[in-house]
């Protein structure tokens, strides 16, 4: 059962608690609330800020350089279209794209994804159209398109994928 507290012992009216302390506690609580509000605002602003990005450009030699510099770039590469949308993203080592890269059309749709080794396409690359539909998946070796990644398709002489095997001619046997 609940015990009734006499008014003389109620909070704020007993011997150990004075009006001045209550006033200080009110100010302290008010101050702590404002600190929390300020911290929350600073946190939101901090999270909204973009991290410092290094501008890179691709030189005539195919290497990436720091913008306005002749020093080849090493680090995270982020290239933009003139309209401000992402054009490409991946790692750059000694000016050469390395590892997994993604490329986008100027409309923001994914254009291609694949791997680079020493600045050359290597492995499976997936190509998309401007609407985002998958166009093809092909294997690249040393920056040369070798074959479609689809094992049921074959490579024809004009370097296009075909589901039919190319004709083979048998040379006449010499006796």
CA 128, 131, 132, 136 torsion-angle sign: negative
Is 92 found in the same domain as 21? no
Which residue range(s) make up the domain with 23? Answer: 17-48
pTM for this predicted structure = 0.54
Backbone region of residue 132 per phi and psi (left: phi > 0; alpha: psi in -120 to 50; beta: other values): left
In a domain, 9, yes or no: no
Residue 169 lies in a domain: no
**Contact between residue 80 and residue 108 where contact means Cβ atoms under 8 Å apart:** no
Co-location of 117 and 133 in the same domain: yes
Q: Spell out the per-residue pLDDT of the chain, length 175, in tens.
A: 666 666 666 555 444 444 444 555 666 777 778 788 888 877 766 665 554 556 678 888 888 888 778 888 998 888 888 888 888 899 999 999 999 999 999 999 999 999 999 999 999 999 999 999 999 999 999 999 987 766 555 444 444 444 443 343 444 444 4
Are 130 and 154 found together in one domain?
A: yes
Torsion of CA 96, 141, 103, 79, to 10 degrees: 10
- Domain CATH for 117: 2.20.110
């Amino acid at each position: 059962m609940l015990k009734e507290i006499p008014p003389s012992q109620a909070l704020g009216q007993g011997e150990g608690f004075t009006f001045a302390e209550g006033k200080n506690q009110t100010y302290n609580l008010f101050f702590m609330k404002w600190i929390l509000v300020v911290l929350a605002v600073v946190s939101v602003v901090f999270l909204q800020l973009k991290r410092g990005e290094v501008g890179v450009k691709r030189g005539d030699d195919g290497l990436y350089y720091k913008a306005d510099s002749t020093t080849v770039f090493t680090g995270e590469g982020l290239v933009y279209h003139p309209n401000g949308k992402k054009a490409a993203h991946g790692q750059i080592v000694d000016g050469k794209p390395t590892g997994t890269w993604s490329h986008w059309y100027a409309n923001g749709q994914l254009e291609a994804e694949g791997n680079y080794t020493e600045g050359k396409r290597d492995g499976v690359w997936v190509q998309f159209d401007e609407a985002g539909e998958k166009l093809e998946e092909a294997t690249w070796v040393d920056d040369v398109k070798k074959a479609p990644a689809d094992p049921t398709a074959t490579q024809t002489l004009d370097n296009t994928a075909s589901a039919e095997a190319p004709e083979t001619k048998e040379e006449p046997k010499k006796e």
